[in-house]
Amino acid sequence: MILVTGGAGFIGANFVLDWLAGADEGVVNLDKLTYAGNLDTLRGIAADPRHVFVEGDIGDRKLVADLLAQYRPRAIVNLAAESHVDRSIDSPEEFIQTNIVGTFRLLEAVRAYWSGLDADDKAAFRFLHVSTDEVYGDLDKNAPAFSETNRYEPNSPYSASKAASDHLVRSYHHTYGLPVLTTNCSNNYGPYHFPEKLIPLVIHNALAGKQLPIYGDGQQIRDWLYVKDHCSAIRRVLEAGRVGETYNVGGWNEKSNLEVVHTLCAILDELKPRGDGATYASQITFVKDRPGHDRRYAIDAGKLANELDWKPAETFDTGIRKTVQWYLDHQEWVGNVTSGAYQHWVGKQYGS
Ligand code: NAD
Ligand code: DAU
């Protein structure tokens, strides 16, 4: 069995669904069900005996210790986190609690469990920590893409909290010998993405006839990776990654935000044209920039490609089209997650 944390969130749920579709090994899924966690996403495996869902906090030492003792997982994949940069600017406290204190407590519980394993199980055990390219900070326009040896220069409370968690994970390997792996991935997109993030927000707002908010000049650059390709990279690193190493994961898809939004509008114009014949791009609105907004991220995923022979299955063109189609086909899921607390966040972040 493996223990996945944060498995009701965007990447975690995709990871659990893909894992169970591709292997018979069971999953214990520990998730606090914050605003970002959604059991609706896991509805298809609700009755699957290979999936055990536990509502709880990675920072709850006793709960985690009990789960480890009961299920004796051979590996942990840590995806639980507060993940939204804008929320970290608005209220950083939860990011410190979950991403730093929570990861620390999880590591402590795992260290105690791992120390008690017999020699073979100890050697085979893995703690895989899922992190982000944002820990490397802002990249100059013409600088080479981030490699694993780039300095950590986090610029938001979110990325600083993720950087801190990465350092803790690293230290548990160097100090205690815990067999850890860390992945630093670029921006994901795809099914079950909560519509607070750029791509699902734009699709959702476009269909609702609302403004498509572009922060600042929209020339900020991100590297985009289809979520299922991120999941395949995590599985590959878990399977064959060298203990103690970090692996950058990316899609070789650098795009400006404006380019991404225009692409979404063009696909929507084709698949679900507006009733009045106008393009969705007419809904684009430039709004106040994000404080401390990093201009560019870019990932060099060469180490993962060369050492572990991983490459993404989707190009940006194929992945983004699948994503738009998924949202058009799953409006009920979107409706469920955009009620209640979501409205409060949108009002606070974008005004009326
Ligand atoms: P998400 O916000 O969609 O999901 C996070 C999940 O963690 C939610 O289900 C939430 O309920 C759960 N959670 C939060 N606090 C918890 C706690 N204290 N205990 C247990 N569960 C808790 O995030 P995501 O986009 O799926 O990101 C998953 C991980 O991948 C994060 O660590 C994030 O930093 C990292 N990451 C995300 C991206 C991206 O583009 N989304 C890119 C690179 C790395
Ligand atoms: O790079 C990896 C990171 O990608 C992950 O670590 C984070 O968890 C994930 O949320 C994501 O962070 P970003 O800040 O890049 O994602 P977001 O979708 O919030 O924003 C993408 C870009 O779009 C960013 O430059 C800000 C901009 N943006 C975002 C929103 C929500 C807008 O212009 N308008 C918006 O309304």
136-188, pLDDT tens digit by residue?
999 999 999 999 999 999 999 999 999 999 999 999 999 999 999 999 999 99
133, 223, 229, 300: which is the annotated catalytic residue?
133
Residue nearest to atom 8 of ligand 2 (CA): 83
At 351 the pLDDT is 85
- Put the strands of the sheet holding 187-189 in their side by side order: 187-189, 221-226, 254-256
Nearest atom (ligand 1) to Cα of 7: 9
Closest ligand to C-alpha of residue 221 is: 2
Nearest atom (ligand 2) to Cα of 84: 10
Q: How far apart are CA 230 and CA 234, in angstroms?
A: 6
94 among known catalytic residues: no
Tell me how far the alpha carbon of residue 167 lies from the centroid of ligand 2, in angstroms: 23
Residue nearest to atom 30 of ligand 2 (CA): 198
What are the structural domain ranges in the chain? 2-187+226-251+297-313
Q: Does residue 162 contact residue 318 with C-beta atoms inside 8 Å?
A: no
- Token couple for 235: 């599985």
At 352 the pLDDT is 59
Q: How far apart are CA 343 and CA 91, in angstroms?
A: 17
Phi and psi (nearest 5°) for 44? -65, -20
Task: Tell me which DSSP letter residue 179 carries.
Answer: -
At 72 the pLDDT is 98
Q: Does residue 248 contact residue 35 with C-beta atoms inside 8 Å?
A: no
At 265 the pLDDT is 98
Q: Does residue 28 contact residue 4 with C-beta atoms inside 8 Å?
A: yes
Q: Which parts of the chain register pLDDT below 50?
A: none
Q: Which residues contact 71 (CB under 8 A, 6 or more apart)?
A: 1, 3, 28, 52
Residue nearest to atom 10 of ligand 2 (CA): 84
Nearest atom (ligand 2) to Cα of 83: 8
Angle at 324 between CA 319 and CA 329, to 5 degrees: 120
Tell me how far the alpha carbon of residue 185 lies from the centroid of ligand 1, in angstroms: 12
Residue 336 CA, distance from chain mean position: 20
**Ligand 2: residues whose CB is within 6 Å?**
83-85, 132-134, 186-187, 197-198, 201, 213-215, 220, 222, 257, 290, 297
Q: What is the pTM of this model?
A: 0.98
- In CATH, which of 3.40.190.150, 3.40.50.460, 3.40.50.10710, 3.40.50.720 is domain 2-187+226-251+297-313? 3.40.50.720
